[in-house]
């Protein structure tokens, strides 16, 4: 790489790496509640954030948080949440129209009781969640995840926005629950390509305070070693995209 491109790319790397952290400092509740936002950049599917005021949070983000009891059904005794939310607006994400977006849950449902240090283990005693749309919900328990959870097709403007519904069942004690996902963008209708994102965590709080919630998100939000190469290639792709636009 030529020296004149190295400095801007390194600066971009630092900006994108710091963006999720800066969003979190002093704004824990805001950080916890933005939606999962996909970006397709030079063939790399990256996951950032987008809130309902259309504030974008740069990819990559590795942990998103919600709280049980924020769902729409008062009969579920605080064991539901209208999330995860998936959201992207127009040209920002470069999503191809008519492509289909799915998520796979690639971990068991994990649990931490909130006592230090942060230590997650798979749930037991029949505890599980069901997540997805109202018409197509998948079960995630202590034995494994779920695949091909349909999110949405990308509309003609490059937009998506949908909220899934996640409900907690069984002998579910208070604590922090988490499941790891990967997003898939199926663009076979246009180019025949399928893109898979870096893994990211959905973190859900049941009756603990925000301190434990965000302590868990800080631990789970560190990228796994296997995703570092994807992260670097995606960031370099962003850097060269910006360079071409300036040319």
For 143-170, how does the pLDDT look when each residue is reduced to its tens digit (9 = 90+)?
999 999 999 999 999 999 999 999 999 9
Closest CA to 199 of 105, 87, 112: 105
The confidence score (pLDDT) of residue 52 equals 87
For the cut 80, the answer to whether the pLDDT of residue 71 exceeds it is no
Separation of alpha carbons 34 and 22, rounded Å: 14
Identify each DSSP E strand in 71-145 by its residue range.
80-81, 85-88, 100-105, 110-112, 121-122, 128-133, 136-141
Whether 169 and 127 have beta carbons less than 8 Å apart is answered as: yes
Of the pLDDT bands very low, low, confident and very high (cuts 50, 70, 90), residue 10 is: very low
Both tokens assigned to 70? 């924020």
The confidence score (pLDDT) of residue 226 equals 53
Closest CA to 217 of 229, 200, 197: 200
The confidence score (pLDDT) of residue 5 equals 33
The confidence score (pLDDT) of residue 165 equals 92
The confidence score (pLDDT) of residue 243 equals 38
The confidence score (pLDDT) of residue 72 equals 63
Range of the domain at 141: 3-246
For the cut 90, the answer to whether the pLDDT of residue 247 exceeds it is no
The pTM score is: 0.79
CA distances for 88 relative to 100, 149, 155, 241, angstroms: 13, 18, 11, 19
Q: Percent of the chain, pLDDT > 90?
A: 64
Whether 127 and 168 have beta carbons less than 8 Å apart is answered as: yes
The confidence score (pLDDT) of residue 65 equals 95
Closest CA to 136 of 115, 162, 165, 100: 165
For the cut 90, the answer to whether the pLDDT of residue 15 exceeds it is no
**pLDDT average, residue stretch 28-33:** 48
What's the structural domain count of the chain? 1
Is residue 153 classed as helix, strand or coil in its secondary structure? strand
For the cut 80, the answer to whether the pLDDT of residue 117 exceeds it is yes
Whether 131 and 138 have beta carbons less than 8 Å apart is answered as: yes
Separation of alpha carbons 131 and 75, rounded Å: 17
Average pLDDT along the chain: 82
**pLDDT average, residue stretch 173-194:** 95
- Which residue reads 């600066």 in tokens? 11
The confidence score (pLDDT) of residue 110 equals 98
For the cut 50, the answer to whether the pLDDT of residue 213 exceeds it is yes
The confidence score (pLDDT) of residue 75 equals 66
């Amino acid at each position: 790489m030529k020296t004149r491109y190295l400095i801007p790319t390194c600066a971009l790397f630092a900006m994108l790496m710091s963006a999720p952290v800066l969003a979190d400092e002093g704004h824990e509740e805001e950080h916890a509640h933005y939606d999962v936002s996909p970006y397709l950049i030079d063939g790399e599917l990256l996951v950032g954030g987008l809130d309902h005021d259309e504030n974008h949070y740069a990819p990559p983000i590795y942990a998103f948080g919600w709280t049980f009891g924020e769902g729409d059904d008062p009969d579920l005794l605080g064991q539901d949440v209208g999330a995860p939310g998936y959201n992207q607006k127009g040209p920002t994400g470069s999503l191809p129209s008519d492509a289909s977006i799915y998520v796979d849950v690639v971990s068991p449902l994990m649990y931490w009781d909130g006592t230090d240090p942060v230590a997650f283990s798979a749930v037991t005693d029949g505890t599980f969640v069901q997540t997805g749309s109202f018409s197509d919900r998948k079960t995630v328990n202590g034995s494994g995840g779920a695949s091909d959870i349909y999110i949405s097709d990308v509309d003609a403007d490059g937009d998506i926005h949908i909220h899934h519904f996640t409900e907690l069942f069984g002998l579910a004690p208070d604590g922090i629950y988490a499941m790891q996902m990967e997003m898939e963008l199926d663009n076979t209708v246009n180019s025949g390509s399928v893109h898979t994102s870096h893994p990211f965590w959905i973190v859900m709080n049941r009756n603990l305070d925000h301190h434990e919630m965000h302590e868990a998100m800080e631990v789970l939000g560190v990228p796994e070693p296997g995703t570092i190469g994807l992260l670097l290639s995606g960031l370099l792709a962003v850097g060269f995209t910006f360079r071409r636009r300036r040319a």
